[in-house]
Amino acid sequence: MWRLTISARIYSGFYILVGLTLALAVFALLQWSRVAADTQSVARTSANLQGVLDISRRIEAVQRAETRYRLEGTAQAVTEQQENTAKARTGLNKLATHALTEALRRIYVSALNELQAHEHSVESYLQFSRVAAEARAKLFSGGDALTAATTRLLAAALATHDQAVTEPAADVQAGVLLVRVANGRFIATNNAEGPATFRTNVGKAAAAVASLERLCGPRQARRT
């Protein structure tokens, strides 16, 4: 599915890198705690370890929120994602500023860079999702208007009691219906062949309209 494919590209690398980075930080802190000889060093190590664990929980919350948004598209999921991302960013900045060693500082900075890059990717994804939602809304409203127009067209054709007119009018309505079916199927399944099927049915519907216009033109002229 296109939505899951796009989001997977955006998210997968980020979670792998950040997960490995934080795991490395935890390992380094645990190693540091083993060699820390005084109470102050142990306390600092404990505080850093707690900070890393808190950031890990924030990252997990970010992942849950982003999954919810992909499935539900709710504003609440976006808010949750942004709040936890901000808190994770603040925590990483704090850890980098008060890192116990230069190696740990580099780890925190690396994770922070990954998080910031991910923020930009998510914002691009959210903008794309909003544009897609607006386009879908226009597509649905346009489809409703088109269906109403073809219904009126068929009703007018039936009122003529002329089979030569009603049959092509029915073909137009059937063609429009197939267009909407192809559209709905693609939105529901994201099948790769969906756009081609949609265009094919649009061509058939357009051909039916052109055929009806050619037929009704001379008939209308004879009546006038």
For 100-105, the CB contacts below 8 A with 24+ separation are 100/29, 100/32, 100/41, 100/44, 100/45, 100/48, 101/28, 101/32, 103/28, 104/25, 104/28, 104/29, 104/32, 104/48
What's the residue count for the chain? 224
For residues 42 and 126, membership in a common domain is answered with yes
For residues 24 and 122, membership in a common domain is answered with yes
Mean pLDDT taken over the chain: 78
CATH number at residue 75: 1.20.1440
Tell which of 131, 150, 170 closes a domain: 131
CATH number at residue 196: 1.10.287
For residues 83 and 34, membership in a common domain is answered with yes
| Predicted pLDDT at 43 | 62
pLDDT tens track for 58-71: 888 988 898 888 88
pLDDT tens track for 128-187: 888 888 888 888 888 889 889 889 988 988 888 888 888 888 888 888 888 888 888 887
Domain residue limits at 126: 2-131
Tell which of 116, 131, 146 closes a domain: 131
Q: Is the pLDDT of residue 38 over 80?
A: no
Whole-angstrom Cα distance, residue 42 to residue 36? 6
Region 180-209: mean pLDDT is 84
Tell which of 79, 113, 131 closes a domain: 131
| In-domain check, residue 152 | no
| In-domain check, residue 17 | yes
CB atoms within 10 A of CB 201: 20
For residues 88 and 174, membership in a common domain is answered with no
Number of domains composing the chain = 2
SS3 state of residue 160: coil
For residues 123 and 170, membership in a common domain is answered with no
| In-domain check, residue 141 | no
